[in-house]
A = this chain, B = another copy of it.
Amino acid sequence: MSYFGLKVVTSRKFWDAAKMVYPRCGQIASLLSYRFMSQAKEPPLTAERYQVSRLPYSEVSVDDVQYFQKIIPGRVVTEEGELKVHNIDWLRTVRGHSKVLLKPQTTEEVSQILKYCNERGLAVTPQGGNTSLVGGSVPVFDEILISTALMDQVISFDDVSGALVCQAGCVLESLNQYLGERSYTMPLDLGAKGSCHIGGNLATNAGGLRLLRYGSLRGTVLGLEAVLPDGSILNCLNSLRKDNTGYDLKQLFIGSEGTLGIITALSIICPRKPSAVNVALLGCEDFSRVLQVFTLCRDQLGEILSACEFMDSESMRIVQKHLKLINPLPDNAFYVLVETSGSCGKHDEEKLDIFLEKAMDSGFVTSGTVATDQGKIMSLWALRERITEALAHDGYVYKYDLSMPVEKLYALVEEIRTRLGSSAQCVVGYGHLGDGNLHLNITAKSHSDALMSALEPFVYEWTSKHSGSISAEHGLGFKKRDHIYYSKSRGAVHIMQQIKRMLDPKGIMNPYKTIPPTD
């Protein structure tokens, strides 16, 4: 079935891309997850569940679709069946009803599309791998979807400097493989690496698992190219490590969640692939010991520490239950996953041994296991990386991605557990210790307004009281837009609104998201 009765050519490439909208964690194909998702019931329309009103944008007409067909022949999707997966988020919590998905291959095509949409007053939603956890990558109503799936070319790689230049639709894991063959690695890594697009990573300022070691995208991204809402192309695509000539415009697009323009290409500095990687999984009795392990590993492992993650016993239970993963250290209240990456295996192992000995001797750790071969390293990482996926199997997920002083990190999880009692199916806490980033997740059989009222604004107020951020790395998207004031002052939001108006006066870019409307 097609909304407009136009014949649409569906290339093999498109099907590949369509499958990829489900995160694969690392190289572990989560077919289970794929089947689960495709059989599940459709969520209600966002407009109904969240009671939002459509803004007065134009509606897509047959003429519009014909125009798009002229610009990108064979790459205009109007089939309802094909569109479905792009209208629903990966968590299946929001649903739009876009009637057109466009698949440009070049920046010039994106430019022509946006110029037309801006003139016609048509709203658009950019979409990468559609792995947003805050409803940022699907339309709220009938916004035109602009997918970066076919913009997946590496433009250049400089093996002296490590600067990679590529299109926005490259899948993070593919880039990492490309670089791995050249003895380099991407400076970011996250659970959704098998699906997420690097353009989406930039648009959401993705954090992930390597931030502790390589820093944020704000430091590693060297340049980018973006198409502005009026179709003009902003070329800031240089590959220089230092460039202080005027305001750093690329920073505006990093983390603006597609509300200011579409990132079409980027340049990023990539570190050498470490020649030695070790992973230790450690069991702790309580959260105060988790913190002691964190301090000790930072002191002892110094420059080779590349990740320090924690998870509680509920997180561990959930990956065992739904994904049948094996926990090598049963019966611990908490787990810490420590990764080292370095240039000399012997030195790294010596440092790790000293750390582990101290951690055991001090009673911080009750049991532990160390992996040095790739297979075992991946099994240990899966226990942490696949929690999101396991939670999605458990029921409707209420997701919170918070940052705060590391000492406070687990107190909120305990408080929520007490507060909700048996009304929640499961309350889990895990996250990035090194970054003070807690992923608090609550599951229930289905969405319920009562549970939502017990959670919000409580979680946000608690976070705000402890000077935390209500969105550490997921962004605000559709779901958290109006909660921005818990983390940002009215003055700051006012400036954001001015910037939005300046670059997107008609408000066509990813509307209803990230920046609340002016009072």
Chain A residues at the B interface, C-beta cutoff of 8 Å: 158, 160-161, 204-205, 207, 211, 215-216, 218-220, 232-236, 238-249, 251-252, 254-256, 260, 272, 274-275, 291, 295, 298-304, 341-344, 347, 350-351, 403-407, 432, 434-437, 467-476, 480, 484, 487-489, 491-493, 495-496, 498-499, 502-503, 514-515
Contact = CB atoms under 8 A, between A and B. Distances in A.
Nearest to A347: B347
Contact of A241 (B303, B436, B493): B436
A244 B239 contact: no
A434 B503 CA distance: 35
B249 A255 contact: no
Contacts of A242: 207, 211, 216, 403, 432, 435-437, 469, 472-473
Given A160-B406, A435-B241, A471-B245, A492 B235 contact: yes
B161 A245 contact: no
A488 B235 CA distance: 8
A399 B324 CA distance: 64
Contact of A299 (B158, B218, B272, B515): B272
Given A211-B242, A241-B211, A218 B272 contact: no
Contacts of A302: 272, 274-275, 342-344
A492 B403 contact: no
7 contacts: A161-B406, A205-B248, A232-B491, A244-B255, A245-B469, A246-B484, A275-B302
A249 B303 contact: no
A255 B242 CA distance: 11
A467 B239 contact: yes
A186 to B, nearest CB: 15
B502 A498 contact: yes
A247 B241 contact: no
A437 B303 contact: no
Contacts of A248: 205, 218, 251, 254-255
B160 A245 contact: no
A403 B242 CA distance: 6
Given A474-B244, A499-B247, A469 B160 contact: no
A56 B312 CA distance: 64
A246 B403 contact: no
A405 B219 contact: no
The CB with the most chain B CB atoms within 10 A, among A300, A484, A488, is that of A488
Contacts of A344: 302, 347, 350-351
Given A240-B468, A247-B495, A303-B343, 16 more contacts: A161-B405, A211-B242, A232-B491, A234-B489, A242-B469, A243-B469, A244-B472, A244-B473, A244-B475, A246-B493, A247-B252, A272-B298, A272-B299, A299-B343, A303-B304, A343-B351
A240 to B, nearest CB: 5
B492 A503 contact: no
Top 7 A-B pairs, shortest CB-CB distance: A219-B219, A302-B343, A251-B251, A243-B469, A242-B472, A215-B219, A245-B487
Contacts of A407: 160
A493 B249 CA distance: 9
Nearest to A474: B244
A492 B211 contact: no
Nearest to A298: B272
A283 B142 CA distance: 65
Contacts of A343: 299-303, 351
A300 B211 CA distance: 23
Given A240-B472, A469-B242, A495 B403 contact: no
A79 to B, nearest CB: 34
A470 B487 CA distance: 37
Contacts of A499: 247, 499, 502
Contacts of A403: 240-243
A500 to B, nearest CB: 8
A232 to B, nearest CB: 6
A205 to B, nearest CB: 5
Nearest to A515: B246
